[in-house]
Amino acid sequence: MAMAINTTLLFTPEAMAKVDARVIASGIPGPELMRAAGASVVACLLSSWPNVARAVVLCGPGNNGGDGHIAASLLAAFGVPVLRHGYAPRSGTDAAAASATCEHAILPLGDYRPLAGDVVIDALFGAGLDRAVGAEVAAVIGRIAEAGTPVLAIDLPSGLSGRTGRPTGPVISAERTVTFAGLKPGHVLMPGRELCGVTTLADIGMPARLVASDDPLWINGPHLYGPTLPRREAADHKYSRGHLAVMSGPLISGGAARLSAMAGLRIGAGLVTLGTPPGAVMAQSAHLTAIMQHRVGSSADLAAWLSDPRLSALVLGPGFGDLEKARDYAKVLANARRYLVLDADGLTAFAGRTGELGDMFAGETRLVITPHEGEFRRLFPAIAEDETLSKVDRARQAAALLNAVVVYKGADTVIAASDGRAAINADAPPWLATAGSGDVLSGVIGGLLAQSMPIFEAACAGVALHGAAASQAGPGMTAEDLAGLVRPPAV
């Protein structure tokens, strides 16, 4: 039977509990899964800390503790000095059976004092954590942090929500985390990703067909967008590869639109034109070669330009400046049924007016918005203030509200569609947080839309390819470097 890890879907703790139940119902007993989970923890510990002096298993009352008990008994069998501190399992449970396999007494949690050479196995709470940890757990978390004792977390660092990636209160900071069958949002959303340290996905013998979920939430990657990437054909000509327009700001802030336009050209749009206000045309001309210009000083100019049906996608907002004009232009674009990537000043223009924006873009989804944290808060204050919502929930609610694809940027960019599909991008390098990098992203997405990629897939691909270009650029990268390195993948 094919055993598996699922590397594309993300499983909320609720979705994973359903997987567990399905697997057990299929005839694989819970204790067998627990033994495999405990064994994978031991494998990680021994390969990462081969000189461990003491393995200290901190065990909680549930199945997370059960995995810890299995690890404790296996380590003892390997001759590793083992200590158990924590809570006894409830009698009659799988965790109680696991605990009985280990002869070391479970000492009170509060009695643990870290020593040099210790490695802590955090088996206090995993998927079942539903509130802040109590004072006794908080105190031991504090002592471990103070001593700098390395921690290997089972499933999730205790105190971290697997659903939101946020701590519920005091939280363990782990050097490594071993989780099972599939990642949870908490492993990739910030700050969870950092609190987990290096996360390993272990195969504990669940049949592949059962490691599934009906929640459309994925890690961002080619499995989502690969099949819809624009194909290169020998008979291609510039118009068949799409025409992207980027609306330029005034004289003083035209650079942002140029970055966006350059990225759109690099990602493969056949033509890219700046829609430039008359006062900035000369200045832009001095900087442009492959990118063309069209004078656009008013909504009427824009509407007339859009009579060219080949102009299929537009970017509005980077360095644009005039908020009232941004609203007017968005309306013209919506009426002309074009694809629009709305960014930066284009987003600020609709703070307090999201209802207006959603109404404009009703019907088939043609709007992508790319807010960073501050822009998201300005646009959706009620959603942003609701502490019960994860970043995925927030992006999904915003997408549904606007009938848009939302690219909620950050170290853990979330891409969400109004039909509930969502992806978390987990591998962008930290140096992507630089001035102008958002302008490049809007151009990449716009360039893919101009080439007729479906809108959610274009946003997912845009985020991934933008991150890949940044990884290639390395530390010290500027937005100019980034725009120069963006490339469509070979398909």
The distance of closest approach from Cβ of residue 84 to K ion in the complex, given in angstroms and rounded to an integer, is 14
Strands 405-408 and 311-316: unpaired
Tokens of 178: 């071993």
131 is in an annotated binding site: yes
Report yes or no: 139 and 85 within 8 Å, Cβ to Cβ.
no
Looking at residues 143 to 202 of the shown chain, list those that interact with K ion (rule: CB under 5 A). Answer: 153-154, 158
Residue 158's binding partner among ligand NPW, K ion, none (Cβ under 5 to 8 angstroms by kind) is K ion
- 111: burial class by Cβ within 10 Å (0-12, 13-18, 19+)? exposed
* Residue 289 marked in a binding site: no
411 assigned ligand-binding residue: yes
Pick the closer one to ligand NPW by CB: 137 or 423.
137
CA distance 465 to 220: 11
Strands of the sheet with 106-107, listed across from one edge = 106-107, 82-86, 54-59, 118-123, 151-154, 176-180, 198-202
Give the C-alpha separation, 346 to 323, whole Å.
Answer: 7
Q: What does 122 interact with, of K ion, ligand NPW, none (CB < 5 to 8 A by kind)?
A: K ion
| Binder of residue 447, out of K ion, ligand NPW, none (CB less than 5 to 8 A by kind) | none
Residue of 100, 96, 130, 124 whose CA lies nearest to 110:
124
Give the chain's largest Cα–Cα span: 82
Residue placing its CB nearer to ligand NPW in the complex, 124 or 461: 124
427 annotated to a ligand binding site: no
User: For ligand NPW, which is the closer residue by CB, 145 or 411?
Assistant: 145
At residue 284, what are phi and psi to the nearest 5 degrees? Answer: -65, -40
94 binds K ion, rule: CB under 5 A: no
| Rounded distance between C-alpha atoms, residue 432 and residue 483, angstroms | 12
> Shortest Cβ distance from residue 198 to K ion (Å)?
15
Is 128 one of the annotated binding-site residues?
A: yes
Half-sphere exposure of residue 219: CA atoms within 13 angstroms, side-chain side = 19
| Closest to ligand NPW by CB, 162 or 268 | 162
Cα separations in angstroms, 130 against 30, 414, 415: 22, 24, 26
Is 438 annotated in a binding site? The answer is yes
Q: Is 372 annotated as belonging to a binding site? A: yes
409 annotated as a binding-site residue: yes
Q: By CB under 5 A, which span of 121-129, 133-141, 241-249, 261-269 interacts with K ion? A: 121-129
CB of 181 or CB of 379, closer to K ion: 181
Interface with K ion (CB under 5 A), residue from 118, 122, 345, 393: 122
Quick one: 131 or 231, whose CB is closer to ligand NPW?
Answer: 131
Q: Return the number of the residue (180 or 339) whose C-beta is nearest ligand NPW.
A: 180
Could you tell which of ligand NPW, K ion, none binds residue 130, using a CB distance below 5 to 8 A set by kind? ligand NPW
In the chain, the amino acid numbered 244 is: L
Beta strand ranges found along 336-447 (DSSP E): 339-342, 367-369, 405-408, 414-416, 422-424
Residue 160 is given by DSSP the state B
Which among 123-131, 201-209, 218-226, 391-399 is the span making contact with K ion, rule CB under 5 A? 123-131
Backbone φ, ψ for residue 8 (5° rounding):
-110, -40
Task: Pick the closer one to K ion by CB: 126 or 371.
Answer: 126
**Residues at the interface with ligand NPW (CB under 6 A):** 20, 30, 33-34, 37, 60-67, 125-134, 154-155, 180, 204
Instruction: Report, in Å, the least distance between residue 177 CB and K ion.
Output: 8
Minimum distance from residue 264 beta carbon to ligand NPW (Å): 44
Kindly state the smallest distance separating residue 181's Cβ from K ion, in Å. 16
* Residue 245 token pair: 């327009």
State the SS3 of 239-250: HHHCEEEEECCC
Whether 255 has a binding-site annotation, put simply, is: no
Distance CA 252, CA 232 (A): 37
Smallest separation (angstroms) from ligand NPW to the CB of 165: 15
Question: Among K ion, ligand NPW, none, what binds residue 422 when CB lies within 5 to 8 Å by partner kind?
Answer: none
CB of 142 to ligand NPW, least distance (A): 16
Nearer to K ion, 95 or 477 (CB): 95
**One-character DSSP codes across 295-349:** E--SHHHHHHHTTSTTEEEEEE-TT---HHHHHHHHHHHHHTT-EEEE-THHHHT
Shortest Cβ distance from residue 126 to ligand NPW (Å)?
A: 2
Residue 431 identity = W
Report the binding-site residues for K(+): 64, 122, 158
Report the binding-site residues for AMP: 409-413, 438
Q: Which residues bind K ion (CB under 5 A)?
A: 122, 126, 153-154, 158
Report the binding-site residues: 63-67, 122, 126-132, 155, 158, 256, 319, 372, 409-413, 438-439
